[in-house]
Structure formats: structure tokens, C-alpha cells
């Protein structure tokens, strides 16, 4: 993206028009993605916690606002590392936690729920059938091993980078915020699952 402005600048009028259209579409894609993400949180509050949609939307907005406002505050204060909060949040949430959540999903779906049950659920309404041996070996064995190796490697090598170490108060705020959001997310999802599937959980289905 950073190479596009000079490119559009060389094309004069056509470049100006193309740049305007390109970055307008990019902005629109970002806004719609943000709305979609907030809508997921709003839907959880509305469907599983019986909170009015308007109120749930405000709660979701408050959560998103609190997690992102420190980027602007830090930049306005002109600290030593202007992107310390953003770097840490991107490193842990955008990189490290992706591996952690993926590993949790694999363990929960394939090991706790079971290969057979997850295999049946995956093929409900599906047009393409995946061989069960493939699902068992690749998803049940290779995937978790690969994720564990990646997680260990990424943790060891990533911990040595500057992005993994908080250098100022905003870096520590990012660490605390990420831990709090992770715990809050787990709690909300657990409550939502137990409320929606209480009978299945009680019956061991």
C-alpha cells in the first residue's frame, strides 16, 4: 500500500482518479469489516444475554473503543515509542494469539468433541465429502503438531523482538488490555454456549 501513492502520483490525472477510487474502496472495506466485527459482539449480547440490540451495540462499541483509544492517546502524547501499544497489540493479538486460538479450536473440536462427531457436523449440508482418514490424520494429528511447533518457535524467536517487550506505560497497558480482553472473551463465549446449548451440555451430547 505504501508504494501506491508514488505510483498514482506519476500518472497525473488518471493516477489521481485511480488513487481516489482505490483508497476510497480500501476505506470502505475497512469500515464494513469493522462493522461486521462489532455486529458479532452485538449479536451475542442480543441473542444470548437478552440485551436490547441498541444497548448491545453501545457495549460492543465501548469495548472496541477502549481497546483502540490508547493508540491515539499515545500518539498525541508523543512518547518515545509512538507505536509501542500498537506494536504489542499487533504482535500478541494479530500473531501469537492466532496460533493459540487455532490450537484451542483443534483440541476442542477434534480431541474433546471427537473425530467422528466433528466429521459428521462438518458434512451437514456439504456438497464435497472429505475422506475420514484425511480428517483424522491431517486435522487431528498433523495440524496440532504443526501449531505446537509454530507456537514454540514463534514464542522463542518473537520474544526476542522489540515488538514483544513493552518499553513504556502504554506497552504495559497493551499487555493488560490483551489479557483482560482474552479472559473477557472466554467468559462471554462460555456463558453464551451454556445458555444456548444447556440441554446438550447437560446430556453430554
pLDDT digits (tens, 9 = 90+) for 78-101: 555 555 777 777 777 777 888 888
Task: Check residues 108 and 70 and name the one with the higher pLDDT.
Answer: 108
pLDDT digit string (tens) for 121-149? 888 888 888 888 888 898 888 999 999 99
pLDDT band with cut points at 50, 70 and 90 for residue 104: confident
Could you tell me if 74 and 82 are in contact, meaning their C-beta atoms sit under 8 angstroms apart?
Answer: yes
| 86/74 Cα distance (integer angstroms) | 9
Lowest-pLDDT range of 6-15, 41-50, 93-102, 144-153: 6-15
Dihedral, CA atoms, 128, 134, 139, 143, nearest 10 degrees? Answer: -130
| 150/96 Cα distance (integer angstroms) | 10
What are 82's three cell numbers?
509512538
Q: How many CA atoms lie within 13 A of 169 on its CB side?
A: 7
Q: Enter the DSSP assignment of 126.
A: -
Cβ contacts of residue 75 below 8 Å, gap of 6+?
82
What are 12's three cell numbers?
497525473
pTM exceeds 0.85 for this model: no
Amino acid at each position: 500500500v505504501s508504494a501506491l501513492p508514488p505510483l498514482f502520483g506519476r500518472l497525473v490525472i488518471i493516477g489521481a482518479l485511480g488513487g481516489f477510487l482505490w483508497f476510497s474502496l480500501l476505506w470502505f472495506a475497512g469500515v464494513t469489516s469493522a462493522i461486521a466485527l462489532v455486529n458479532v459482539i452485538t449479536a451475542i449480547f442480543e441473542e444470548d444475554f437478552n440485551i436490547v440490540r441498541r444497548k448491545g451495540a453501545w457495549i460492543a462499541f465501548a469495548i472496541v473503543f477502549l481497546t483502540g483509544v490508547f493508540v491515539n492517546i499515545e500518539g498525541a502524547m508523543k512518547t518515545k515509542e509512538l507505536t509501542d501499544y500498537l506494536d504489542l497489540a499487533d504482535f500478541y493479538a494479530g500473531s501469537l494469539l492466532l496460533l493459540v486460538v487455532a490450537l484451542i479450536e483443534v483440541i476442542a473440536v477434534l480431541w474433546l468433541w471427537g473425530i467422528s462427531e466433528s466429521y459428521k457436523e462438518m458434512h451437514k449440508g456439504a456438497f464435497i465429502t472429505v475422506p475420514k482418514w484425511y480428517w483424522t490424520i491431517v486435522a487431528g494429528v498433523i495440524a496440532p503438531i504443526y501449531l505446537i511447533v509454530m507456537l514454540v518457535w514463534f514464542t522463542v524467536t518473537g520474544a526476542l523482538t522489540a515488538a514483544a517487550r513493552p518499553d513504556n506505560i502504554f506497552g504495559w497497558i497493551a499487555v493488560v488490555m490483551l489479557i483482560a480482553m482474552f479472559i473477557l472473551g472466554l467468559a462471554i463465549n462460555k456463558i453464551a454456549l451454556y445458555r444456548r446449548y444447556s440441554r446438550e451440555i447437560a446430556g453430554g451430547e
